[in-house]
Structure 1
Amino acid sequence: MDTRLLKHFLALSETLHFGRASEACHISSSALSRSIKQLEDSLGVSLFERDNRTVSLTQQGLKFQVYAREALSQWDMIRNALLEDAQELQGELSMYCSVTASYSFLHDILRRFRSRYPRIEIKLHTGAPEPAVHRVLNGDEDIAIAARPDNLSGALAFKSTGLSPLLFIAPTDDAVIAPQFAGDIEHVNWSDVPMILSEQGLARTRVDRWFSNKALKPNIYAQVAGNEAIVSMVSLGFGVGVVPKIVLENSPLANTVQVLPVTPTLPAFDVGVCVLKKKLKNPLIEAFWAQL
Structure 2
Amino acid sequence: MGVALFERDNRSVALTQAGRRFRGFAEDTLASWEDLKHDVRQAPTELAGQIRIYCTVTASYSFMPELLTRFRKSFPNIEVILETGDVAQALQQVAEQEIDIAVAPLPDHLPNQMEFLSLLKTPLQFIGPTVDCPVSRMLNETPVNWRQLPLVISEYGLTRKRLDQWLRSQGVKPRVYAQVAGHEAIVGMVGLGFGVGLVPQLVLENSPMKERIRVIPVKPQVRPFDVGLCTLHRRMQDPLVKAFWQIAQTTSVEHPGN
Q: Which amino acid aligns with 1:145?
A: V
TM (norm. structure 1) is: 0.76
Mapping 1:49-60, distance limit 5 Å: none
Match of 1:219, as an amino acid?
R
Partner of 2:243: 287
1:153 aligned onto 2:111:
yes
Change (3 A) 1:128 1:86: closer
Indicate whether 1:249 and 2:205 are aligned. Answer: yes
For 1:55 and 1:68, the matched residues in 2 are separated by 22
Whether 1:117 and 2:75 are equivalent positions in the alignment is: yes
Asked if residue 129 in structure 1 is aligned to residue 59 in structure 2, the reply is no
| 1:91-143 deviation per Cα after TM superposition (whole angstroms, max 9, x unaligned) | 11111111111112211111000111011111221110001112112222110
Determine the structure 2 residue equivalent to 1:239.
195
Q: Tell me the distance in 1 between the aligned counterparts of 2:150 and 2:63.
A: 31
What is the Cα deviation at residue 287 of structure 1? Answer: 1.0
Q: How many angstroms apart in 2 are the aligned matches of 1:210 and 1:246?
A: 20
Shift of 1:289: 0.9
Higher helix share: 1
Question: Do the aligned partners of 2:114 and 2:231 also contact (CA within 8 Å) in 1?
Answer: yes
Aligned to 2:254: none
Kept after mapping to 1: 8 A contact 2:154/2:181: yes
CA distance 1:182–1:68, change in 2 (3 Å): same
- Alpha-carbon distance change, 47 to 213 in structure 1, aligned in 2, over 3 angstroms: closer
If you compute each CA radius of gyration, which structure gives the higher value, 1 or 2? Answer: 1
**Percent pairwise identity:** 43
The answer to whether the 8 A contact 1:69-1:139 is kept is no
Change (3 A) 1:249 1:87: closer
Q: For 2:118 and 2:15, how far apart are their aligned partners in 1?
A: 39
Query: Which of the residues 108, 120, 139 maps onto 2:66?
Result: 108
Structure 1: runs of 5 or more not aligned: 1-42, 49-53
Cα RMSD (Å):
2.4
Amino acid in structure 2 at the alignment position of 1:133: L
Cα 1:101/1:284, change in 2 over 3 Å: same
* Residue of structure 2 in register with 1:88 after alignment: 46
1:211 correspondence with 2:167: yes
1:88 alignment partner AA: E
User: Which stretch of structure 1 is more off in the superposition, 81-90 or 246-255?
Assistant: 81-90
1:202 and 2:202 matched: no
Deviates more, 1:136-145 or 1:68-77: 68-77
TM-score, reference length from structure 2: 0.86
